[in-house]
Structure 1
């Protein structure tokens, strides 16, 4: 383990923890502190509540990603949150190899922890029907609101027929995803190739970290 990875892990101690400050948590400007259940689907970037420090700082250098809320990190206290991540999210080199290695390790820690957070992963090799193809990122709050972070001013859907479509889509995507031990095994397999190369370490020492290739 490199010194930079160790620094990342120290910085990220306590991340993805619920907030104890009432009224503070929001997603893209939409309050969710009164929510009873939150479902988050991510197909472009690791969602804000799961981001480590270095990953979030890299995302913040991209204005559109920042304005669309992909660096938000606060969750409401005691509320069950279910994440479904597309594996493709984890193949975007955001912040460089050391940052990604620490981000993977953080996700593994969340998978192993007994909290209100549930993380599942849709592998690249998943067999899908047309209605199960990847979608734009979205958040469902209590099955009554859907937030789409597609513009700096988020699209919020509240009509029943609209929210029902996303609730059904989330259920379909969740059925495709690996959970628990299977998700942990798959993520561990993805982590191994992320060991920094000697060239990468030289770049880091020179202050020229690998560029972020993710888009929103």
Structure 2
């Protein structure tokens, strides 16, 4: 599998490769290009190696230095698209996390088939208000943004009502460890696990648990990712939400999801693991 920022990084690297190719075709060194552009050699190196994203002005200067000004417009557009794939959580939640919860409603309503994999947390669509409050409060503290976890948790639960609406199907996969990572207080975690038993019995919901004791796993635990129909994948990291839209990369996530899905247990076996986790809280 690719890393959480793979799609965005791959897009950056394609821009860097185009600029590197222009310099090579022009027959000039990195130092010569830097001198023509009016910056340091190290900056040229960082841009060529996709460590620093070039600004539109950087790209225009680079192309002019390589006698390829006609390509600047296309490369600028490609670079801006690459950078748009990174969406910083801190910028999006600087006024609180409630608005972030509501921002997903349109996507949820337009999606018929949800696939969600999580190795660390109960998926958002299955969270209780208490569990969501603990998760969102921790996020606010780490990201140093306004802590409106109470309102955000209520909004998260409100948007989760979609699992009861007709026209949607859901497959949730979690690692067994998710059932034992206690977030919030003892009673809140017990309520969350109980809710998994209830939600997992809904007709439109399939809840799979990948047991810790799975022998000879064929795929290691991945990052949290969501697949919306077959057209979009989102990966959530601590600092960003990365959106994958490239068909080839979506296909990779779908293949990984199916492999993870094949290792999970369902129905009575999944419920038994949840019940065991509840009993361990006593």
TM-score, structure 2 as length reference: 0.54
- Relative to structure 1, is the Cα distance of residues 187 and 151 closer, same or farther in structure 2, using a 3 angstrom cutoff? closer
Pairing partner for 1:100 from 166, 169, 189? 189
Does the residue aligned with 2:253 lie in a helix, a strand or coil?
helix
The runs of at least 4 aligned residues of structure 1 exceeding 3 Å deviation read 24-27, 64-67, 70-73
Q: Which structure 2 segments of 5+ residues have no match? A: 1-100, 144-151
Rounded to whole Å, the distance in 1 between the matches of 2:220 and 2:118 is 13
Contact 1:26-1:32 at 8 Å conserved across structures: no
Q: Deviations over 1:18-53 (max 9, x none)?
A: xxxxxx9754x8723211201000112111111111
- Relative to structure 1, is the Cα distance of residues 80 and 38 closer, same or farther in structure 2, using a 3 angstrom cutoff? same
Matched, 1:140 2:227: yes
Matched, 1:32 2:108: yes
Does the residue aligned with 1:89 lie in a helix, a strand or coil?
helix
Structure showing the higher helix proportion among its residues: 2
Pairing partner for 2:137 from 53, 61, 64? 61
Report the counterpart of residue 166 of structure 1 in structure 2.
253
Q: RMSD between aligned alpha carbons?
A: 2.5
Pairing partner for 2:210 from 122, 145, 153? 122
State the aligned residue count.
167
Q: Which structure 1 segments of 5+ residues have no match? A: 1-23, 196-216
Q: Deviations over 1:72-128 (max 9, x none)?
A: 4424432001100111112211012211111111111122x3331211111111124
- Relative to structure 1, is the Cα distance of residues 81 and 65 closer, same or farther in structure 2, using a 3 angstrom cutoff? farther
CA-CA distance at 1:63 after TM superposition: 2.2
Return the index of the structure with the highest Cα Rg.
2
